[in-house]
């Protein structure tokens, strides 16, 4: 069983994820742009029980997602880095790939919320793009 470890920028907050992600997504929604300072967030999705905080205590910022259900951002109060967001609408965590210690073999499988992307957004090659979410997902 693959276990990957990750941490925030200062190392106060550490986590692990088990197994392979169920999805890997470039999200171009406005919130992700704000939180990353970039055109997108690269999140790998893990079922809730596969994500564990192993050190430190995350601060939580809750907001309403597009679905109207809570998105709980887990971030480090010391350095401000968000390591993951709990998507309660789907019962999974979207883990920030940039916070994983190593991310060999992880690549985006789709681009979502591209309707909100800036005109200068950069898209991965060869993966489907969706204005919002793929049909049948979320909602």
Residues that bind Zn ion (CB under 5 A): 8, 10, 12, 27, 29, 32, 76, 78-79
E strand or H helix that includes residue 63: strand 59-64
CB of 113 to Zn ion, least distance (A): 6
Q: Which is nearer to Zn ion, 79 or 115 (CB)?
A: 79
Q: Which residues contact 107 (CB under 8 A, 6 or more apart)?
A: 24, 124
Residue 91 tokens, joined: 């019962």
* Separation CA 4–CA 90 (nearest Å): 22
Cβ proximity to Zn ion, 19 vs 134, nearer residue: 134
> How near is the Cβ of 44 to Zn ion at its closest, in Å?
13
Q: How far is the CB of 41 from Zn ion (least distance, A)?
A: 5
């Amino acid at each position: 069983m693959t276990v990957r470890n990750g941490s925030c920028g200062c190392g106060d907050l550490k986590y692990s994820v088990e197994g392979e992600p169920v999805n890997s997504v470039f999200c171009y929604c406005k919130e992700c742009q704000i939180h990353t300072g970039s055109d997108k967030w690269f999140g790998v999705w893990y079922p809730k029980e596969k994500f564990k905080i192993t050190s430190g205590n995350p601060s939580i910022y809750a907001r309403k997602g597009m679905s109207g259900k809570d998105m709980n951002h887990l971030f480090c109060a010391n350095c401000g880095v968000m390591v993951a967001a709990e998507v309660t609408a789907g019962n999974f965590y979207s883990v920030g790939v940039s916070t994983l210690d190593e991310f060999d073999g992880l690549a985006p499988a789709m681009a979502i919320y591209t309707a909100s992307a800036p005109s200068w957004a950069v898209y991965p090659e060869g993966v489907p793009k969706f204005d919002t979410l793929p049909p049948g997902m979320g909602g």
